[in-house]
Amino acid sequence: MSLTLCNHLYSCTFISSLHQSHNFIKLSPNSLKFSPNKSRIRILYPTRRKRVIISAAVNGYSAVQGSNSDETHVDFGEKVRNFVENFRAILPGGRWWKFDDDVQIEMMAKSVSVWKALSRMWELISEDRVLVFAAFAALIVTALSEISIPHFLTASIFTAQSGQVAVFHRNVRLLVLLCVTSGICSGLRGCFFGIANMILVKRMRETLYSTLLLQDISFFDAETVGDLTSRLGADCQQVSRVIGNDLNLIFRNVLQATGALIYLLVLSWPLGLITLAICCALFTIMLFYGKYQKKAAKLTQEFTASSNEVAQETLSLMRTVRVYGTEHHETQRYNKWLDRLADISLRQSAAYGIWNLSFNTLYHSVQVTAVLIGGMSILAGSLTAEQLTKFILYSEWLIYSTWWVGDNVSSLMQSVGASEKVFQLMDLSPSDQFTHQGLKLEKLSGRIEFKDICFYYSSRETVSVLQHINLVVHPSEVVAIVGLSGSGKSTLVNLLLRLYEPKSGQILIDGYPLKDLDTKWMRERIGYVGQEPRLFHMDISSNIRYGCTRNITQEDVESAAKQAYAHGFISALPNGYKTIVDDDLLSGGQKQRIAIARAIIRDPSILILDEATSALDAESEYNVKGVIRAVRNDLKTKRTVVVIAHRLSTIQAADRIVVMNGGRIVETGSHMELLKKDGMYSQLTGRQADAVA
């Protein structure tokens, strides 16, 4: 049965119930609609390393399976109990407020303390510490000027009332000076903190991006692009508030609150202590609120990342979505995450409401207490009206500052929550390939030897993909690897490209272990054309030059394009080699030809071609055969060619054919030798011949 969640709140109840019971679902019959042709409910939680799938057999769900008449028999007592339970759930601290139900704990990044997060941020910005110090200096001057204003304001009014002209003028002059100073320093403070923040976010993104680019390929097998771009975008943006907003305002308000408190205690210590007690209560509420917001922020980041993941996947597969007419389904898939985001936001807003309510209540209680006790003190003659006015002004100041501190601490907590995953990713060590300084040979002849290679992908440890592969490819030899789909051909090439490391065995290049060779040096000497070549969003010329470290002229580009049979169609494009392309603007065959030109221009000692298996067959075959022919005819440049071949004519052009099955090499030899053997190869060619016939 498929399940439609009628409204957002019910969806939360549903998900919560799923988590609570794990096996049994408690659902409100009103909230769900079932269609009879499916049998499972699946909820996917994207996690960093795995997706948790909760499946619930709906057929075993008797309460909903029954007719609607069940609903009418719910007795009054049950209804009241449900009402009371729901009411208790929405009270502060109730079940509705808890986030734990919403998400598996392993999807969260390791929690970092505020101090740890701040010290990490300081590491990133410490290079520009002068700017930060200048910002803090401006902040201190602003805070001190602002906190002195109410004193001189009140003093000016009361000195005018009592006719002390000289003192009145001095107070007004000081007032003007304080206003001007606080105005200027406030501007400088905002500007310096803003710049410091911009630097922090820029460094954070730079560091994160460069760390990601240096990870092993297996890291990208486990992470999704949408998730990573979300860390770079939304998460870093959230952290951007830390210095420019949160810290800046926290420090300002802490300073002002401290000043106001001292002033109040000097003015009247009993009233000062009462105000302090109220502020402590406010601060305690604020701590709970801050923690709550931090957790909410972490979930918001997770769900934003998940929604980005869905959007990115759908938009990049837009043609498939259109052809299969799944727009509505995809919208629902996206909406599911939006609903969860809205749910978090709903609770955040409700928490904000409670926080504001507490503040208002406590704020007004300070006013009332001050007027009551202060008024009685005036009547008793122990306090003047001027002192009480100052007291009320400063107590307002104190409580407002406490409120601001609370507000900004909660915002800081949110930023810290958002930064956790970013720091976790930033802490990843780069792949060994980038840290290890390997050997650089004087000359590479292109001899490749696979020695007893075994391999499985870390994401599927139980599935052995290559088993005891032994193969020698001689310099300038053209070797075709053939076999059924999934037999491990591309994996073998991936190991040669060092995208993955063998689990056992060794790959030798010119007799040297591939692991000992300098990866960058080695890759510069390999040309690779994948089965589905991808192009960058830049002009064709730049796409062909991509990654080539030697000096390249436009003639070199055109010559490589001619060898790859790409010159003709490129010249026919409106802007020729300057035409901006990307993955969608050219046909599969045209992209492949550009990728071949990109491989040829490097003048590689080892050329690896993965022939396309799909609809491109004929064109791909023509292109690949052309490259092999060119290698054969060009006696000056010696190249070893490894081609993963699917077509008979490509295979025949090879010096040697290696047949793979189930991760093993089962046959090797020339076309004729293998046909005579009447083994797997002859079966494969027989099948292809039948297909052509």
Residues that bind ligand ATP (CB under 6 A): 221, 457, 459-460, 465, 483, 485-491, 613
Q: Are strands 504-509 and 526-529 parallel, antiparallel or unpaired?
A: unpaired
User: Smallest gap, in angstroms, from Cβ of residue 612 to ligand ATP?
Assistant: 10
> Whose Cβ is closer to ligand ATP: residue 509's or residue 660's?
660
Classify 401 as helix, strand or coil: helix
* Closest listed residue to residue 185, CA positions, set 146, 213, 219: 146
> Whose Cβ is closer to ligand ATP: residue 244's or residue 483's?
483
User: Smallest gap, in angstroms, from Cβ of residue 460 to ligand ATP?
Assistant: 5
User: Smallest gap, in angstroms, from Cβ of residue 495 to ligand ATP?
Assistant: 10
User: Smallest gap, in angstroms, from Cβ of residue 586 to ligand ATP?
Assistant: 22
User: Smallest gap, in angstroms, from Cβ of residue 555 to ligand ATP?
Assistant: 35
> Whose Cβ is closer to ligand ATP: residue 408's or residue 491's?
491
Amino acid identity, position 47: T
Buried b / exposed e along 260-289 (16+ C-beta atoms within 10 A): bbebbeebbeebbebbbebbeebeebbeeb
What DSSP element (H or E) covers 223? none
> Whose Cβ is closer to ligand ATP: residue 335's or residue 490's?
490
In 10 A of CB 254, how many CB atoms?
17
Classify 658 as helix, strand or coil: strand
> Whose Cβ is closer to ligand ATP: residue 224's or residue 487's?
487
Pair of tokens at residue 9: 């709140």
- Determine contact, residues 208/422, Cβ cutoff 8 Å: yes
CA 623/CA 421 separation, integer angstroms = 45
> Whose Cβ is closer to ligand ATP: residue 396's or residue 532's?
532
- DSSP secondary structure string for all residues of 572-615: HSTTGGG-EE-TTSS-HHHHHHHHHHHHHTT--SEEEEE---ST
DSSP state of 499: S
User: Smallest gap, in angstroms, from Cβ of residue 595 to ligand ATP?
Assistant: 16
CA 82/CA 470 separation, integer angstroms = 69
DSSP state of 439: B
User: Smallest gap, in angstroms, from Cβ of residue 520 to ligand ATP?
Assistant: 23
Q: HSE of 476 in the Cβ direction (CA atoms, 13 Å)?
A: 9
CA 346/CA 356 separation, integer angstroms = 15
Classify 4 as helix, strand or coil: strand
Cα-Cα end-to-end distance for the chain? 46
* Closest listed residue to residue 212, CA positions, set 196, 236, 195: 236
CA 65/CA 48 separation, integer angstroms = 36
Helix locations, 44-164, DSSP H: 62-65, 69-72, 76-90, 114-125, 129-161
> Whose Cβ is closer to ligand ATP: residue 410's or residue 491's?
491
User: Smallest gap, in angstroms, from Cβ of residue 492 to ligand ATP?
Assistant: 7
> Whose Cβ is closer to ligand ATP: residue 23's or residue 485's?
485
What are the residues whose beta carbons fall under 8 Å from the beta carbon of 90, sequence distance 6 or more?
A: 96, 97
In 10 A of CB 666, how many CB atoms?
14
> Whose Cβ is closer to ligand ATP: residue 285's or residue 465's?
465
> Whose Cβ is closer to ligand ATP: residue 274's or residue 645's?
645
> Whose Cβ is closer to ligand ATP: residue 316's or residue 326's?
316
- Helix, strand, coil percent content, the chain, rounded in steps of 5: 65, 10, 25
> Whose Cβ is closer to ligand ATP: residue 22's or residue 50's?
50
- Determine contact, residues 488/660, Cβ cutoff 8 Å: yes
Provide Rg for the chain, Cα atoms. Answer: 35
Alpha-carbon dihedral sign for residues 336, 338, 344, 347: negative
Virtual torsion, Cα 108, 114, 117, 123, nearest 10 deg? 180
Classify 67 as helix, strand or coil: coil
> Whose Cβ is closer to ligand ATP: residue 441's or residue 497's?
497
> Whose Cβ is closer to ligand ATP: residue 218's or residue 579's?
218
Classify 565 as helix, strand or coil: coil
- The residues that bridge with 91 in the sheet, in sequence order, are none
> Whose Cβ is closer to ligand ATP: residue 11's or residue 215's?
215
Amino acid identity, position 318: M
- DSSP secondary structure string for all residues of 246-298: IIHHHHHHHHHHHHHHHHHHHH-HHHHHHHHHHHHHHHHHHHHHHHHHHHHHH
> Whose Cβ is closer to ligand ATP: residue 530's or residue 576's?
530
